[in-house]
Amino acid sequence: MVAPTATVILDRDGVINADTVECVRSVSAWQPLPGSLEALAQLRRAGWQVVVATNQSGVARGLLSRRELASIHEHMCGEVNAAGGAIGAIASCTHGPEECCGCRKPAPGLIHQLESRLGRSLQDAPFVGDAERDLQAARAAGCRPVLVRTGKGRRTEKVADLSGVTVYDDLRAFVRCLLGETSA
């Protein structure tokens, strides 16, 4: 069993659920990736806390409302809970890329928001993402960058700086390695 404050940070689209061309716009469009719900349940059983840091510029672009985003997150948490997992907190950036805010990944603002909510540092916590901006945000906040090949991950693997990054086929493979069931 790990310490009760051990935390894993996850990106949402492409890591937990299937990514779409523009954005996940509705509860019905949110589809978990194969094995992701089970992986989240494994983390909970092993004593890990899961938090999510996600860019959701679809709100700024008028593709969905904040209320619709909240409904998607409620649905996601319900699906994760039904599978035996839990999400402790979600930090979302609803700004567009042109707004140059401090919370939109690759900036570390979402991670700092999560630290504030949790009341502790997330430095050295694994941050699992599928895009280069996830890896950059992890590095900027002092987290351990992890890339999964789902979502944009295969493309990211070909073009991103992977120094210090561990790479896994999917969230399930990462969790198995984290829990000592397999090696990277």
Cα separation, 102 vs 110, in Å, equals 8
In the predicted model, what is the mean pLDDT of the chain?
Answer: 95
Buried b (16+ CB within 10 A) or exposed e, 84-96: ebebbbbbbbbbb
Query: 181 Cβ partners below 8 Å, 6+ apart?
Result: none
Helix (H, G, I), strand (E, B) or coil at 166: strand
pTM, entire model? 0.95
> Active-site residue numbers?
11, 13
CATH 3.40.50.300 fits 7-178, yes or no: no
Separation between Cα atoms, residue 158 and residue 161, nearest integer Å:
9
The region that residue 47 occupies, defined by phi over 0 for left and psi between -120 and 50 for alpha, beta otherwise, is left
Q: What does the pLDDT profile of the chain (184 residues) look like in tens digits?
A: 455 469 999 999 999 999 998 899 999 999 999 999 999 999 999 999 999 999 999 999 999 999 999 999 999 999 999 999 999 999 999 999 899 899 999 999 999 999 999 999 999 999 999 999 999 999 999 999 999 999 999 999 999 999 999 999 999 999 999 999 865 5
Across the beta sheet with 126-129, the strand order is 89-93, 49-55, 7-10, 126-129, 144-148, 166-168
pLDDT per position as a tens digit, 158-182 = 999 999 999 999 999 999 999 998 6
